């Protein structure tokens, strides 16, 4: 999927969104840990990334699918605690713009993810639905 440095960068970007409101909610931290584990980042490295999350430069994947996955994770992170803090939304939209997507994509994803969250659908199943739509394009 990604090189180790890209994985850590990805995680730092998620931390940046989660911490934009100056509070790390338990659900945000659980999703960050889940994402780190999925990428093969151990707990010690996770803590290092957490401590240095303010030092982030966006690494833009060449692959459209990987960029969209990042955007999905950014929006999921912004919404996972049940509220969209305006500071998190600003950071999320800035990151999305850096990935060469219009910030309106965030609004569209919020609507779809909100529906899935309200139905109790987990992030991987939700993303698989978006993945199907991407493959149809």
At residue 86, φ and ψ (nearest 5 deg) are -55, -35
CB 73 within 8 A of CB 36: no
Global pTM value: 0.85
The pLDDT tens digits of the residues spanning 73-101 come to: 999 999 988 888 999 999 999 888 888 88
In order of start, what are the domains of the chain with their CATH numbers?
A: 4-136 (1.10.3680)
* Cα–Cα dist 117/126, whole Å: 9
Residue 37 CA to residue 31 CA, distance in Å, equals 10
Q: What is the mean pLDDT of residues 36-62?
A: 83
| CA 61 centroid distance within chain | 14
């Amino acid at each position: 999927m990604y090189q180790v440095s890209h994985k850590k960068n990805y995680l730092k970007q998620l931390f940046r969104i989660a911490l934009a409101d100056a509070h790390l909610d338990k659900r945000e931290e659980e999703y960050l840990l889940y994402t780190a584990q999925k990428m093969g980042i151990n707990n010690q490295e996770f803590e290092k990334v957490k401590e240095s999350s303010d030092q982030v430069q966006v690494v833009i994947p060449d692959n459209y699918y990987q960029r969209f996955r990042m955007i999905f994770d950014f929006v999921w992170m912004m919404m996972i605690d049940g509220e969209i803090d305006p500071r998190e939304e600003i950071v999320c939209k800035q990151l999305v713009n850096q990935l060469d997507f219009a910030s309106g994509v965030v609004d569209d994803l919020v609507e779809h993810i909100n529906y899935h969250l309200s139905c109790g659908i987990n992030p991987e199943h939700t993303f698989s639905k978006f993945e199907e739509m991407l493959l149809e394009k």
